[in-house]
Amino acid sequence: MNIFYKNYTIEHHQELDSTNRLAFKMADGNQIKDYHVIVADRQTSGKGRSSRIWQSIDGNLHFSLILRPKIPTNKIVQLSFVAITALRLAIQNIAANKPIRIENKWPNDLLINGKKVAGLLLESSINQNNVVFVIIGIGLNLTASPDNPMFPASNLKDFGIDLNKQQGLEIFLDQFEELYQNYLSYGFRNIKNLWLQAAYKLDEKISINDGEKQIDGIFKGIDDDGNLILEHNKETIKVSVADIYNSD
Q: What is the smallest separation between the CB atom of 121 and ligand BTN, expressed in angstroms?
A: 4
Q: Three-class SS of residue 65? A: strand
The residue with its CB nearest to ligand BTN is 119
CB-wise, 124 or 237, nearer to ligand BTN? 124
CB-wise, 5 or 151, nearer to ligand BTN? 151
CB-wise, 28 or 203, nearer to ligand BTN? 28
Contact 120, 138 (CB under 8 A): yes
Q: What is the smallest separation between the CB atom of 50 and ligand BTN, expressed in angstroms?
A: 7
Q: What is the smallest separation between the CB atom of 216 and ligand BTN, expressed in angstroms?
A: 22
Q: What is the smallest separation between the CB atom of 244 and ligand BTN, expressed in angstroms?
A: 12
- Per-position DSSP letters for 175-242, written without gaps between them: HHHHHHHHHHHH-SHHHHHHHHHTBTTTTSEEEEE-SS-EEEEEEEEE-TT-PEEEEETTEEEEESS-
What are the residues binding ligand BTN (CB under 6 A)?
18-20, 43, 46-49, 52, 54, 62-64, 109, 119-121, 137-139
CB-wise, 137 or 217, nearer to ligand BTN? 137
Instruction: Find, among 4, 70, 71, the residue nearest to 35 by Cα.
Output: 4
Would you give the end-to-end CA distance of the chain in angstroms?
46
